[in-house]
Homo-oligomer: A and B are copies of this chain.
Amino acid sequence: MNNFFMNEALKEAKKSFDLDEVPIGAIIVKDNEIIGRGHNTKEHTNSPLNHAEMIAISNACEKIGDWRLIGCDLYVTLEPCAMCAGAILNSRISNVYIGTRDQRMGCAGTVINLLDMPTFNHKVKVEFGVLENESSSLISSFFLKLRNRK
């Protein structure tokens, strides 16, 4: 099941790839149903907030009419940055499944784990390495494409 849902997140990431955006995708699942989808559109929308996870969270909240995504799982192809980890906390998501790590900006355990901080009012379970190769090679191909174009 994890691979099935991460594959859906990868489909989202490919939409960013085709738009010449860093290819990151996310989906939100509740009771085995996908209730939110998002892909990175930062450059096209001129918004630093439009990371895949943010769009998926916004989409899911709209769908269920609540800012609380209690009992929901988020699947994302790249480890969340500080903003997205914070949004995951703020929306009370229960579990996060991650494709590949972000060694410089990753805030779900690599640089720091914002999803398990002693004073914060919510904690999230994290699992790394779901379709890791597929997630990381999509990002590598994107940067290769950029370099070849220059």
Using CB atoms and an 8 Å cutoff, list the residues of chain A in contact with chain B: 42-43, 45-49, 51, 54, 57-58, 61-62, 65-69, 81-87, 89-92, 103-105, 107, 111-112, 114, 117, 119-121
Task: Report the copy number of this chain in the oligomer.
Answer: 2
Distance to closest chain B CB from A72 (angstroms): 12
Q: What DSSP secondary structure best describes chain A's contact surface?
A: loop
Chain B positions within 8 Å of A83 at CB level: 82-87, 89-90
Instruction: Sample 15 A-B pairs with CB under 8 A, ordered by A number.
Output: A42-B67, A43-B67, A45-B67, A46-B66, A48-B61, A48-B68, A48-B87, A49-B87, A83-B86, A84-B86, A103-B119, A104-B120, A104-B121, A105-B119, A105-B121
Chain B positions within 8 Å of A81 at CB level: 86, 89-90
**Shortest Cβ distance from A50 into B: residue:** B67
**Shortest Cβ distance from A92 into B: residue:** B48
Name A48's contact: one of B47, B57, B65, B112 (CB within 8 Å).
B57
Please report the C-alpha to C-alpha distance between residue A4 and residue B90 in the assembled complex, in whole angstroms: 30
Known A47-B67, A82-B107, A83-B90; 12 more pairs at CB < 8 Å: A45-B67, A48-B57, A48-B67, A48-B90, A49-B49, A49-B90, A82-B85, A83-B87, A83-B89, A86-B86, A104-B120, A111-B120
The answer to whether A82 and B114 touch across the interface, beta carbons within 8 angstroms, is yes
Name A104's contact: one of B57, B82, B107, B119 (CB within 8 Å).
B119
